[in-house]
Amino acid sequence: MRLLAIILLTLLLLPTTPAAAATNLAVAATPSASYTSPWENVNAINDGVDPPRSNDTANPRWGTWPETGTHWAELTWPTAQTLTSAEVYFFDDGGGVRLPASWKLQRWSGGTYIDIPGTYPTAADTYNRVTFPEISTVRLRVVLQSGAASVGLLEIKAYGESGTPAPWNPPAHLVTPLNEVWQHVESTYPNLYGFRNYGWDQVMANGGSINYCVRWDSNATVTAAQRDRIHATLARQFKKWTDLMIGQEGWPYTDVPVKVVGWAVRDRNQLQWTDDSVDIYVGDIRENAPQCAPACGRFFNQNGTYPNCPGGAARHYDMSLWLTAGMGGGAGGDWGQRLGSEYYLANLDADNMHILLHEIGHSFGLDDFYDWTPSGVCCFLMKAGSASSITEFDAWMFRDWWRHLKSRYGL
């Protein structure tokens, strides 16, 4: 079953696909900065959004107003990256934040930062590209010297030896059915490319992880051990999908951790733990079921900022795992997955919890197949009742979604 709420955003600027299919390694890094104005967001620098102009009023930005002098923003990767070029897009609002007087890149080596030689342009309204001899580093720092005012950045991209990405190469017998599926998706969902809250968007917004809140739609009690097993099962099933993407079509992650940040419940006494490892929401009822705070939910805050979430952005949730007593079947969408609480608890050790897997598929855009079947394939998870695990065809449909959406991340 599919319940995908389509929310129209005001404006969508789809970046053009780069001619050379080089992978932007920046999106897999963790951003930080010497200073960030409280109303700006350092996560802007590698969120993959191509700015429309230096005076960007629509997307997140990193800026240092009112600070001036030397400031830096930096990308940190979990492992060393081989880089041969980078480009930055300056933030310039014509007032308190202007183009820098000068800037440079630095790499981290031997416990210190070393300047990267190159030619450093300072143009507004475009990417400023620098190429350099191949380096290997876990940190890339952009050092800005302020000029007329404070400084800021809208985006940093970093590229390696443009290793030719593996070409799109599904098994020959799946090419025709995959094309049929995509044509069907495009004709069924006119706002397909405008919608910005697929599981893909959520993972990319977090830099390679996903946050969940559990809606405990039952009067049963839950022990700490059950809580942890519910989380572990969710993580294990989610990973069955995301592992399919490793090394595929510029996908930047090798692991997509699942964090459960909250639980929503009718009565606090149902939850038999006292630790504060998750946020607990009591008595906020929507759709006749407990829900986690809307201020912390991605569904309600699709610009990716959570100013009113008590725990801040770190405790936001992208999806809900909604477990309803007495429910058969399931539902899935950009908001998460819903299924029976008894079914979930009875299948904690199952290798494949097929209803959950199917509904996670919906959260990443995959469709149902109630009324048609693609040519030459009989049985697969997204055709309900015909398979109980992710098949090769499901895997290639999943990758095909990313292939069609990845250009929005400059990939």
Residues that bind Zn ion (CB under 5 A): 1, 368
CA–CA separation, 219 and 324 (whole Å): 10
Nearer to Zn ion, 40 or 400 (CB): 400
Distance of closest approach, residue 237 Cβ to Zn ion, in angstroms:
15
Complex with Zn ion: residue 234 or 357, whichever CB lies closer: 357
Rg (CA), the chain: 23
3-state secondary structure of 29: coil
Taking the complex as a whole, the smallest distance from the CB of residue 380 to Zn ion amounts, in Å, to 12
Q: How far is the CB of 2 from Zn ion (least distance, A)?
A: 5
Residue with Cβ nearer Zn ion (180 or 368): 368
Cβ distance 94 to 108 under 8 Å? no
User: CB of 12: closest distance to Zn ion in angstroms?
Assistant: 26
CB 258 → Zn ion: shortest distance, Å? Answer: 21
Per the CB < 8 A criterion, the answer to whether 344 and 323 are in contact is: yes
| Kind plus residue range of the DSSP H or E element containing 230 | helix 224-242
Q: Is the dihedral of CA 304, 263, 257, 345 positive or negative?
A: negative
Q: Which CB atom, from 222 or from 377, has the smaller least distance to Zn ion?
A: 377
**Adjacent-strand bridge partners of 264:** 215, 281
- The span from the CA of 296 to the CA of 186, in Å, is 31
Answer whether 105's CB lies under 8 Å from 86's CB.
Answer: yes
Cite the beta strand spans of 97-169 per DSSP E: 102-109, 112-116, 127-145, 152-159
Tokens representing 87 are 């480009």
Name which of 342 and 368 has its Cβ closer to Zn ion. Answer: 368
Beta carbon of residue 361, minimum distance to Zn ion (angstroms, whole number): 8
With respect to Zn ion, which residue has the nearer C-beta, 2 or 266?
A: 2
Among all residues, whose Cβ is closest to Zn ion?
A: 368
CB of 205 to Zn ion, least distance (A): 25
Please give the span between the terminal C-alpha atoms of the chain, in angstroms, as a whole number. 31
Cα–Cα dist 238/231, whole Å: 10
